[in-house]
Amino acid sequence: MKIKRLSDFPIEELHNARMAVANDYRELEIAIREKDPYASHVPESYKDKVLAEGLKHADLVEKGECDSNFSVWQRLYQKLTGECVPLFSK
């Protein structure tokens, strides 16, 4: 598999991929906050703080400020090409 750099993709496609990945992260963070059974001793304020941090990360992904993070890059690449690049080769 020949791996392309993100800069090889048209800017509009990259922007759309960032939006999609950021929205995936937002949906995940909201689902965790609303549906994940936290331990009863965890304060609501802490749960809200974790949610806010996750949503902030999604905003940074959308702006392209997390492209160098492997997990984010991997998700972007998958959105752009349909291929999931493994962390380690076989």
pLDDT of residue 10: 97
Q: What confidence tier does 1 reach under pLDDT thresholds 50, 70, 90?
A: confident
Of 47 and 15, the structure prediction assigns the larger pLDDT to: 15
Residue-level pLDDT at 37: 81
pLDDT over 80 (residue 39): no
In sequence order, the 6+-apart residues with CB closer than 8 A to the CB of 65 are none
Taking Cα atoms as reference points, which of 84, 68, 79 lies closest to residue 23?
Answer: 79
